[in-house]
Amino acid sequence: MTNSPISSATPGAIKWMTYTNNSGRFSFGYPQDYKINENKVVGVDGVFTPTPNTVQVVSSVIKGTKGNFSLTITYKNTTSSLQQFVGANSRCSSVTSTGGTSYKIGSTSGLIFKDTLCGSSGATFMYFVKNGIGYIITIESTIDSNTTLIYSDEILSTFKFTEATPTTQSYAKEGESCGALSGPAGNAQCAPGLTCNTAGTCAK
């Protein structure tokens, strides 16, 4: 997980940061004065709850109000379709595999369940499935939903699904250990032109 600043051309404007999550394969921007919670979420009572594979953005107090909002992204591996993923990960009775309205992030289609009566003050849920990962985006607020969506949409407009970081294949050189006989360092493949001999080393 990394955070990096986004430069602003407007003097005095609040700087934005970019959050990147390599495990969940996504990134988004957020105002610098917002807080990021990783693998834990804070409720309206201020109590933190450990929540694996979760990133929560908590806004500062919204101008003209006395409240704020949170946007929480939970991700998990899945082989399910979008509808199956919704049904298996419903947070309340208002969220069903046959309900919701189409919603897009970039070119990725998902489902949104807006202004449900779930939780202590209601919540909006979004579901997506991309490259074998299912995403649940939850927006909760202590202010009115229309104002919340204005500010949460600013973050969602920067949201990007990213591709897996490619791994670089490393090869064992001549004389180095290879195959099952090489122990913890092993099962290494020999470089092109070499073979793994019975002694467990790479040779021509």
Whether 124 and 115 have beta carbons less than 8 Å apart is answered as yes
Whether 56 and 71 have beta carbons less than 8 Å apart is answered as yes
Whether 3 and 15 have beta carbons less than 8 Å apart is answered as no
Q: What's the pLDDT score for residue 182? A: 41
- Work out whether strand 16-21 and strand 2-6 pair parallel, antiparallel, or are unpaired: antiparallel
Which DSSP symbol is given to 167? P
34 CB neighbour count, 10 Å cutoff: 20
How far apart are the C-alpha atoms of 5 and 86, rounded to whole Å? 34
Hey, which CATH number is domain 2-161, 3.20.20.70, 3.40.50.300, 3.40.1000.10, 3.65.10.10? 3.40.1000.10
For the chain, the domains span 2-161, 171-203
Structure pTM?
0.75
Ordered per-residue pLDDT tens for the chain, 204 residues: 666 555 444 445 679 999 999 999 999 999 999 999 999 999 877 889 999 999 999 998 888 888 899 999 999 999 999 999 999 999 899 999 999 999 999 999 999 999 998 877 789 999 999 999 999 999 999 888 888 989 999 999 999 999 866 556 677 888 888 865 444 444 578 888 888 888 888 888
Give the DSSP letter string of 102-131: EEEETTEEEEEEEEE--TTT-EEEEEEEET
